[in-house]
């Protein structure tokens, strides 16, 4: 803890004393400063609460039940109210602080789950982020889903919306036929970019002109990373005649990749990371105020920077930009891509088309580690519970895969076809939830986070100070066995630094910024709450503890660690970055 004192001396940071109604249990180091700055007396505080704080009671929610809410919250008149989402509140009541799930859950929305009732069931089951893959369905359909999610959020849920760009890739044109076609060993197929309606026997229509540029006789055409394989036996103009060498299924929109002597062959064509359709989808997302934009087939950081600078000119509420790691180039430039983006999705489906499957688990671990060091959330995606598209129970191997992602401390795990088109989407989400929770509690019992590398120091002093405060805070919270960490944050930075340490107690991030709240929906261990924050940290702490107590979610004797990154709006006020441990009186 010496470091905290060291930085306090360097930067005029200090540790602040406690307030009426709340007793100080411990200070970190240095002499406590009498809290002259604070203007509340106990009586004043009571009147203040009476005058300004209005909490509307919310019926208790049973997480995992399919019943809808009765106590939808009035979100108007935000001043003095605390917005804690219904699901976290229910989880907290039922299981206490340590029972709050840390790993976030993302669901791909598709025809199997797009009614308001189905979306609400997913929200109740713990969906933190709804993903819309812009490859599929119409603009009207996407708009309808986004509006329904907003409706749910108005009822007291906290579900962020992510759009996922189609990106530029070569795939089999989807003729709308629901079923797959089988390619038999030795059969001869014609691959063409010629446009035609419907399907032709033994013909594969590729989505892009010039798909065969640079491809030679003897090269391999691999479907969906190994679902079926062909050998090129003849080039006829831009078309290819291919012999099936490994029989398998051709699914609608299956991906094509070309291989020579065990290496991926890139065509001479330059595919832009964001196509004209992607830009149009992004405009749609911005106009609807989506929270995340996941960019497919990112090859370098420039594409991410370009999009972020475009977004900054578009709207006050900035959508967070996630880079999908799904091609060899994105692995080669991983560090710079993660630094430029607001998080990543480990898109194992397409990644498995480009690198040998046996390399995916170690790559996944490495990507999560890089993201954690750089405080960017990492989502593990694709085929986590693939068999549940058809069957009501997962395979043991699938449960082990989910557990492994949680053990690696991924921020989030994602459902794809399981929720979008599967028959058991809600059940699959419940498997994700229970498996994550079990693995998290086992990790705590085994003190696994003690083996995590600490974050690397950053360049700027202010970042390093915040980082050190968060590292110390997380260590203190674990060592002292505290119940919860309260962090007051304008943009979520401090909450994200805390999350990087993967502490045992849950992190409650209080922010007055709706965008920051939604962005934190993807961050490991963070429960984001919306509240009016003032420059007065003591008032903020009093207010939140009092509100949470009023709701019966915190009780006498509970201990919380309190930190803040609130920079006073008034230039004459001193910035206090503090760590306090409080016992609720």
Ligand X SMILES: Nc1ncnc2c1ncn2[C@@H]1O[C@H](COP(=O)(O)OP(=O)(O)OP(=O)(O)O)[C@@H](O)[C@H]1O
Residues in touch with ligand CC(=O)C(=O)O (CB under 6 A)? 324, 326, 347-350, 381-382, 416
- CA distance to 342, 368, 449, 531, 564, per residue, from 494 (Å): 15, 19, 19, 16, 7
Nearest-CB residue for ligand CC(=O)C(=O)O: 349
**Residues 348-367 as x/- pattern, contact with ligand X by CB under 6 A:** -xx-----------------
The one of ligand X, ligand CC(=O)C(=O)O, none whose footprint includes residue 33, by CB under 5 to 8 A per kind, is none
Residue that the structure tokens 């530029």 belong to: 168
Identify residues 314-353 at the interface with ligand X (CB under 6 A): 349-350
- Alpha-carbon distance of 501 to 517, in angstroms, equals 19
- For residues 21 and 349, which CB has a smaller minimum distance to ligand CC(=O)C(=O)O in the complex? 349
* Contact between 126 and 87 (Cβ < 8 Å): yes
Q: Smallest gap, in angstroms, from Cβ of residue 251 to ligand X?
A: 7
State both tokens at 483: 């119940």
Among the listed residues 1, 98, 135, 448, the single contact to ligand X using CB under 6 A: 135
Nearer to ligand CC(=O)C(=O)O, 19 or 376 (CB): 376
Select from 130-138, 263-271, 280-288, 500-508 the region that touches ligand X (CB under 6 A).
130-138
Least distance in angstroms from the C-beta of 328 to ligand CC(=O)C(=O)O? 14
Lookup result for tokens 């699959």: 428
Give the residue from 156, 105, 151, 98 showing the smallest Cα distance to 128: 105
Q: Can residue 226 be called a binding residue for ligand X (CB under 6 A)? A: no
3-state secondary structure 177-230: CCCCEEECCCCEEEEECCCCCCCCCCEEEECCCCCCCCCCCCCEEEECCCCEEE
Q: Which does 348 bind (CB under 5 to 8 A by kind): ligand CC(=O)C(=O)O, ligand X, none?
A: ligand CC(=O)C(=O)O
Stretch that binds ligand X, among 50-58, 105-113, 351-359, 451-459 (CB under 6 A): 105-113
Q: Please state at what angle helix 396-407 crosses helix 425-445, rounded to 10 degrees.
A: 50
CA–CA distance, 381 with 416 (Å, rounded to integer):
7
- Told to check if 273 binds ligand X by CB under 6 A, we report no
How big is the chain by its Cα radius of gyration, in Å?
26
Name the one residue in this structure whose structure tokens are 């106990």: 42
Contact window for ligand X (CB under 6 A) among 131-139, 209-217, 449-457, 536-544: 131-139
Which window, 129-137, 276-284, 364-372, 440-448, contacts ligand X (CB under 6 A)?
129-137
Q: How far apart are the first and last CA of the chain?
A: 26
Please say whether the beta carbons of 407 and 439 come within 8 A.
yes
Per DSSP, the three-state class of 69 is coil
Q: CB 330 → ligand CC(=O)C(=O)O: shortest distance, Å?
A: 11
Stretch that binds ligand X, among 189-197, 394-402, 417-425, 558-566 (CB under 6 A): 417-425
């Amino acid at each position: 803890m010496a470091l905290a004192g060291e930085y306090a001396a360097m930067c005029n940071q200090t540790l602040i004393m406690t307030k009426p109604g709340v007793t100080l249990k411990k200070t970190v180091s240095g002499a406590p400063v009498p809290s002259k700055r604070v203007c509340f007396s106990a009586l004043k505080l009571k009147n203040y609460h009476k005058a300004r704080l209005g909490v509307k009671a919310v019926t208790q929610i049973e997480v995992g039940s399919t019943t809808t809410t009765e106590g939808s919250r009035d979100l108007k008149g935000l001043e003095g109210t605390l917005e804690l989402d219904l699901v976290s509140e229910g989880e907290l009541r039922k299981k206490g602080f340590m029972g709050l799930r840390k790993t976030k859950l993302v669901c791909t929305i598709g025809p199997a789950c797009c009614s308001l009732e189905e979306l609400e069931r997913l929200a109740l089951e713990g969906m933190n982020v709804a993903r819309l893959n812009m490859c599929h369905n119409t603009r009207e359909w996407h708009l309808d889903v986004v509006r329904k999610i907003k409706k749910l959020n108005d009822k007291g849920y906290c579900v962020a919306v992510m759009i996922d760009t189609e990106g530029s890739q070569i795939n089999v044109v989807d003729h709308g036929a629901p079923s797959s076609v089988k390619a038999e060993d030795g059969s001869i197929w014609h691959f063409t970019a010629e446009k035609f309606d419907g399907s032709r026997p033994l013909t594969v229509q590729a989505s892009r002109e010039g798909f065969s540029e640079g491809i030679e006789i003897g090269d391999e055409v691999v479907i969906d990373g190994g679902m079926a394989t062909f050998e090129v036996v003849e080039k006829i103009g831009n078309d290819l005649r291919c012999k099936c060498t490994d029989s398998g299924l051709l699914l609608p929109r299956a991906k094509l990749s070309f291989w020579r002597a065990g290496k991926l062959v890139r065509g001479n064509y330059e595919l832009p990371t964001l196509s004209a359709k992607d830009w149009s989808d992004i405009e749609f997302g911005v106009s609807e105020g989506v929270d995340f934009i996941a960019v497919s087939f990112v090859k370098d950081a420039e594409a991410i920077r370009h999009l972020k600078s475009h977004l900054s000119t578009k709207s006050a509420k900035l959508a967070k930009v996630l880079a999908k790691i799904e091609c060899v180039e994105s692995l080669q430039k991983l560090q710079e891509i993660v630094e430029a983006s607001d998080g990543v999705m480990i898109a194992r489906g397409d990644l498995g088309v480009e690198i040998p499957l046996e390399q995916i688990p170690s790559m996944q671990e490495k990507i999560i580690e890089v993201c954690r060091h750089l405080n960017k959330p990492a989502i593990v995606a694709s085929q986590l519970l693939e068999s549940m598209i058809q069957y009501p129970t997962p395979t043991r191997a699938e449960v082990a895969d989910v557990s492994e992602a949680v053990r690696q401390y991924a921020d989030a795990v994602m459902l794809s076809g399981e929720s979008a088109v599967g028959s058991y989407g809600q059940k699959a989400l419940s498997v994700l939830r229970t498996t994550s929770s079990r693995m998290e509690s086992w990790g705590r019992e085994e003190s696994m986070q003690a083996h995590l590398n600490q974050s690397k120091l950053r360049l700027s002093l202010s970042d390093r100070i915040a980082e050190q405060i968060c590292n110390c805070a997380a260590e203190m919270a674990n060592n002292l066995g505290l119940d919860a960490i309260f962090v007051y944050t304008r943009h979520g930075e401090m909450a994200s630094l805390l999350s990087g340490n993967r502490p045992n107690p849950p992190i409650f991030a209080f922010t007055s910024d709706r965008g920051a709240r939604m962005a934190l929906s993807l961050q490991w261990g963070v429960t984001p709450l919306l509240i009016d924050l003032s420059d007065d940290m003591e008032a903020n702490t009093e207010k939140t503890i009092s509100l949470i107590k009023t709701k019966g979610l915190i009780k006498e004797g509970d201990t919380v660690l309190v930190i803040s990154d609130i920079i006073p709006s008034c230039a004459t006020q001193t910035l206090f970055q503090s760590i306090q441990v409080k016992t609720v009186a």
